[in-house]
Amino acid sequence: MKVTILGAGSWGATLSALLFMNGHNVDLWEFDKERAKNLQSRIIKPFAAGADLPSSLTVTSSLESIKDSDAVLFAVPSQHMRSTCLLLKNSGISLDGKLIISATKGIENRTLLRMSEVINEIFNGVYKNIAVLSGPSHAEEVCRKIPTAVTSASVNFETAEKCRMLFMNEYFRVYNQTDITGVETGSALKNVFAIASGIMDGLNYGDNTKAAIVSRGIKEIAKIGVALGGKEQTFYGLSGLGDLMVTCFSRHSRNRAVGQAIGEGKTLESTEKSLDMIAEGIKNTISAYEIGKKFKIELPIINEVYMILFKGKDSLRAVNDLMTRCPKNE
């Protein structure tokens, strides 16, 4: 297939290399013209792991390749999804009849829309052609061909199957399902708990504490997901519990690293400035907090992470408030 990938960050680059090695015709789009030029010339490497792009894979800052592409994959930061879609539409590009894949994990601030909903809102009527690719899949490991399993989800099973056939190979296993709401919600909210997990690392707490964050965190994620229309069982699969575990425990997780810096006493502003890539969990904490308020859902961990990041609450006090809440049955 002819595939255009939008977003030449580490994940977009990783997926472009994977698809290229699977035998597809791939163009990797980068918004910044100078960075696109340097990537095309292989002056800079897109991977934190140090790997390079296949020598004949095209990197471009032009959107022209989308017009004759069979599939378009979005790998842009979640809070840039809308502006990217509008850029395409204003450039006269239609996505009608194309396989549309979102590999972006997030919930838009203010609108509280999932990424597939943002795409469908701008390109009205394409929802059945959208698949979401999600699961425990750090780019740093996928680009090294370390065995990985993910989920392809769409309201249309045939669309999910097309996505699976595009990606699946001997080191990248893809499962199908139709609960796109659950898959997107789990993949977005897990980053909030990665920040919480990192805060525990910054406070020098141990495995007991982190296990509590993960096990109680999946409960909070499921509460939100079910309220939004997802299926509870989805949150105990790859895009829920699987993604939550990998991002809470991994040294590759940017969101966990953000939390660790906060737990060590650094400010959110200084932490963000030190990042070379976007940590989606920061913005998604706002969305998660707002969803909780909208649906009147009790979300103690999400609420404390929000208070730490945006209201200046002391991390130790937040932990104490969580631990001394009114006793409850599990």
Q: What are phi and psi of 151, to 5 degrees?
A: -120, 140
- Ordered DSSP codes for 295-326: HT---HHHHHHHHHHHH---HHHHHHHHHTSP
**What ranges in the chain are assigned the alpha helix state H?**
10-21, 33-40, 81-90, 115-122, 139-142, 157-167, 180-202, 207-227, 243-249, 254-263, 268-274, 280-295, 300-311, 315-323
Calpha distance 31→52 (Å, rounded): 19
Cβ neighbours, 10 Å, residue 301: 20
Calpha distance 88→242 (Å, rounded): 33
Calpha distance 102→5 (Å, rounded): 10
**Annotated catalytic, 190?**
yes
HEC per residue, 102-157: ECCCCECCCCCCEHHHHHHHHCCCCHHHEEEEECCCCHHHHCCCCCEEEEEECCCH
Calpha distance 152→321 (Å, rounded): 38
Closest CA to 315 of 243, 209, 221: 209
Tokens coding 279: 């940590």
Calpha distance 292→276 (Å, rounded): 30
- The single residue of 105, 190, 210, 283 carrying the catalytic annotation is 190
Active site residues: 190
